[in-house]
Amino acid sequence: MIRLTAVTNMDLTPLVDNWPRDLTDQVEFTWYRKAEEALPHLGETEGLLTSYRLQDQLLDAAPKLKWVQVSSAGVDMVPLEALADRNIVLTNASGVHSIQMSEHALGAMLYWARRFREFDRSQQEKRWARRVPTGELHGQTVGILGTGSIGKAIAQKAKAFGMTVYGYNRSGGDSPEYDVTLTGQEGLTRLLRESDYVVSLLPKTAETEKLLGLEQFQRMKINAYFINLGRGEVVDESALIQALNEKWIAGAALDVFEEEPLPEDSPFWEMEQVLLTPHVSGNSPHYVERLAGIYYDNVRRFLKGEALRNTVDYGAGY
């Protein structure tokens, strides 16, 4: 029997209550809400399930640790070098956000296309605003930076609205969900120039930090919208603010920022052309249920000595 431990204040009740019968006799699983509660009990732990921030003291207290499963898709705040040095396999929860984040992206596009902000304002003013010009998603092009599970889910929903879908990734690998797949600087330029909506799902890495700056926003259409659901550090925020103020682009829907919580003095708070949400696009009442499916699968693979699902490439950083 192997010992697996969860350390997170996330409510794992759905995961614990639905623990598969085939794993009961093979795994001793314990869940602690706080690190200080777990520390005395990690000596025999081989696998650790934890929230986004992985504390060094947890690693130090677990000398037999072979595998870390994080509950998030992003791993930019996990001590990658320390895990790599100990040859600990790191897996993320890629796939757990696909439904809710794709709905959030389409919701933002509809918000702009159907001019919901203007109609909300007219309702508050009790004004019958029939002359507000509305648009359609049908026939528009959406460019998606990051073609993984979330990007594919957005692409599928966008096609249901009759949109053309461009995908951008590091490898240039094709996927049937995308009408066009692009890569490299030329590919990024084409996507920015031809898209009516640009959605960033990019992780924070050395390659992506401030990838989108003045030059990139100047290449977008003046009636295009930028949506960022990936990482705030991918964007040069001062450049985005300038692009919005000088009307290089029509607007932005921002869920992630360089600094979170967003400072009170940030210009984004008061910009009419910005839809701002506080890093909630991945939230869902079904989050732990979906995480559980990924985790159970990896536990079975771990027991069999098979390759784990969603293994993080330490060199790439995701």
Q: Give the Cα separation of 122 and 46 in Å (integer).
A: 58
Residue 259: Cβ-neighbour burial (10 angstroms; 0-12, 13-18, 19+): exposed
301 noted as active-site residue? no
Catalytic residue selected from 260, 286, 289, 306: 260
Catalytic residue selected from 170, 279, 300, 309: 279
Catalytic residue selected from 177, 231, 237, 258: 231
Cα of first residue to Cα of last residue in the chain, in angstroms, is 31
Spatial CA neighbour of 169 closest among 157, 161, 180, 158: 180
Query: Rounded to 5 degrees, what angle do the CA atoms 177, 179, 181 make?
Result: 90
Q: Give the Cα separation of 89 and 91 in Å (integer).
A: 7
103 noted as active-site residue? no
Can you list the alpha helix ranges (DSSP code H) found in the chain?
A: 13-17, 21-24, 35-38, 56-60, 80-85, 98-113, 116-124, 149-160, 184-194, 214-219, 237-245, 287-304
Residue indicated by tokens 């909630």: 280
Q: Give the Cα separation of 308 and 301 in Å (integer).
A: 6
Give the 3-state secondary structure of residue 134.
coil
46 noted as active-site residue? no
Catalytic residues: 231, 260, 279
